[in-house]
Amino acid sequence: MNKQNISMEFITISKAVKATGLAYLGDINSSSKIKKNQKVSNNYTFIMYLLPHKASGYNVCPMATKECILGCLNTSGRVIMDITNRILNSRLTKTKLFFEQREFFMNWLFASIKAKQNKAIRDGFDYSVRLNGTSDIDWTTHKVNGLNVFETFPNIQFYDYTKVPKRFNNVPENYHLTFSYTGYNWNDTQKILKKGFNVAVVFNTNDLPNEYKGYKVINGDLTDFRPNDGDGVIIGLKWKTIANKVVNEQIRHSMFVVQPNDKDCGYLYKIAV
């Protein structure tokens, strides 16, 4: 697919699957962490993964740092075991569809969100949507029939992580945003915490601190469902191993990841480091 292709028309999900060779744009319970939402938060969560940063030739992560580019979870989890690159190729196709066949992509996305919502209702679960699994797109600006996804589905709980501070200026009521700490953006982090929003911080430890820089830390690995976290807290995430061992060590000990002996970490007990 490229920009010169004839515009594709979305008719049904099954026909879109046949036309693109993709199994889906997004799915529920598609990773071990998302599956925790079902057990801990009674949630079926629809999540979509695109190819991050500029890997597709298009930028879907406008404020990516060098550490998050190298340490992106795009190369962790099931991707490590995917020797055929099927997963990454699928994400590449989806990302190109988003930029090159926007109307087709958005109509398919909206239809998919609705279809999975119907499944959640049939199965007796709550339903949530995370569109930026491995991207940082502002979904308020992309519309179908004049409405963005939050306006089209006002009764669905959406949530995401973002590194873009201005997104917190006008957040839709059904959209829960968590800011991502990079090691370089503490000023923005503090402003956002003071507004009552939460911030995700990665720690290189099995024992998360109780506080970081004076703010309460909660365990963000128990579930990926962020809307129940409370307000003005730090979401502690333990470092996740990525495929490249050299890069893994480089990023694990960078500013992006807080070390257990960091002076700003507060513990109720002394830990071995």
**Region 167-193: what's the mean pLDDT?**
97
pLDDT in tens, 182-194: 999 999 999 999 9
Residue type, 194: K
pLDDT in tens, 47-96: 999 999 999 999 999 998 888 877 775 555 444 444 457 888 999 999 99
**Region 109-124: what's the mean pLDDT?**
98
What is the per-residue DSSP string for 192-257? HHHTT-EEEEEESSSS--SEETTEEEEETTS-S-GGGS-SS-EEEEE----S-HHHHHHHHTSTTE
Q: Would you say residue 121 has pLDDT above 70? A: yes
Q: How many domains does the chain have?
A: 1
**Region 140-153: what's the mean pLDDT?**
98
Is residue 5 in a domain? no
Q: Would you say residue 248 has pLDDT above 90? A: no
What DSSP element (H or E) covers 158?
strand 157-162
pLDDT value at residue 5: 63
Between CA 60 and CA 206, with CA 255 as vertex, the angle to 5 degrees is: 100
Is residue 124 in a domain? yes
Is residue 95 in a domain? yes
Is residue 273 in a domain? no
State the CB neighbour count (10 A cutoff) for residue 173.
8
Is residue 6 in a domain? no
Is residue 4 in a domain? no
pLDDT value at residue 2: 47
Is residue 215 in a domain? yes
pLDDT value at residue 100: 97
Mean pLDDT of the chain: 91
Range of the domain at 165: 13-266
For strands 198-203 and 234-238, give the pairing: parallel
Is residue 218 in a domain? yes
**CA 258/CA 264 separation, integer angstroms:** 9
pLDDT value at residue 219: 96
pLDDT value at residue 84: 54
